[in-house]
Structure 1
Amino acid sequence: MADTSYEFGEACPDKGVAVLSTLRFAEGTTTTTDASRGVNENQEKVLLLRRTLKILAHEMGHLFHLKHCIFYQCVMNGWAHLDEMDESPLHLCPICLRKLHHGLVPLLLVVQQGRPRPQ
């Protein structure tokens, strides 16, 4: 298994399983960013929700066999720390969106036609 010292989640697309952790969001960890310091309670809740949604979207992308994006600012960018996560958007870039579409269309056609799903 890869070094998970800077990971926020892990996905196994072949098994359809993903996990995420919000441990690194805890105050006092070495990865708490300046962006999360000095904010009021409501802002902190919004920041926590936004970060959690980014990890969720990122790991779901991996479940659809998307790799880390190197082309644009994208939710599929790899993150080594919270600053990188905070800078990334909550959406896919055009290239990753196309990859997702390309991978989903055959599955949708199979479901619509009532055929068993390919293995």
Structure 2
Amino acid sequence: MDRPASILLVEDEAIIRMMLVEMIEELGHRVVAEAGHLDQAQSLAENEQYDLAILDINLQGSNVRPVAEAITARGRPFFFLSGYGSGGVPEQFKSRPVLHKPCAIEMLSRTIDAIWPNRQPDDAQG
């Protein structure tokens, strides 16, 4: 079986964040850190241990660019979530996937699988 991803989730709307956590867990992954504010998200992006990140583009009026830069500096994959399409994606991250909110669990699953290159079978150890 594939190793589940540990995920940093950045979303400023609490209800959407809770729904995403449920979907991520249903897919067999786990959310290891959540943030709804830019400062908190940047701190977690720089210090938390995670395999990949899911980022809302607009956090209470602030663009998530500094968080995306921190994740990139650590060499971790990520993708964006947006209710506004790809318009707010920072220029240097235009090539990153953007999921539109609300997203279907199938799209979430496909996007996680596409960006997480380390998803490999574990050694046969129990």
**TM-score, with structure 1 as normaliser:** 0.27
Greater C-alpha Rg: 1
- More relative contact order, 1 or 2 (CA 8 Å, 6+ apart): 2
More strand by share: 2
TM-score, normalising length from structure 2?
0.26
